[in-house]
Amino acid sequence: MNPAPNIRETCNIPMAVLPIIIAPDPRLKACCEPVEQVNGEIVKLMDDLLASMYAARGIGLSAPQVGVCKRVIVVDTARREEEPKPLAMANPEIAWVSEEMVGLEEGCLSFPEHYAQVTRPARVGMRYLDRGNTIREIEADGLLARCLFHEMDHLDGVLFVDHLSLLRRGMILRKLVKMKKLEEADAV
């Protein structure tokens, strides 16, 4: 996903690209606290999450992935040739899900270069607080629904690999541990 060139121009708060936590890390398994209200601090977090997501070429990011244990997610599933369509949510809640299930390949910015088939509901209805602290509702299907489910899982300490078999999850986590050790050895 290309970075949104106009996202910085449209907000009054400077944006920061935050480091994304790579699994395994206990911070990714924590349940997040609700946001009391969307104030300047939370709007800045939303903007920083968007900047970090765009910089990492992702389509979704949650606050715990940058070490903030708050119920905040951002997504943008616009295609590269389209205008960015960022969506920032505080305290997102699932109102309903479809009975129809769809299995597709997923990845995660906290699991670089690892992908696996995950089955999720095809459609979702959600409520959330927007950047102006207003309650909104959204219905989503396709890639947006999948991305919302994925990011919502992060808020409850559930990772996409938790939807996989123990064998497949173990293989991915062992590879990431090995990658972290190699990076640490190179840094010394």
Catalytic choice (9, 36, 151, 183): 151
Instruction: Kindly give the pairing relationship between strand 111-121 and strand 123-129.
Output: unpaired
Judging by beta carbons within 10 Å of its beta carbon (0-12, 13-18, 19+), is residue 101 exposed, middle or buried? Answer: exposed
Which contiguous run of DSSP H or E holds residue 174?
Answer: helix 166-187
Q: What is the DSSP letter of 19?
A: P
Cis bond upstream, residue 5 (ω within 30): no
Asked about 151 being catalytic, the answer comes back as: yes
CB 43 within 8 A of CB 131: yes
Buried b (16+ CB within 10 A) or exposed e, 135-156: eeebebeeebbbbbbbbbbbbe
Catalytic residues: 151
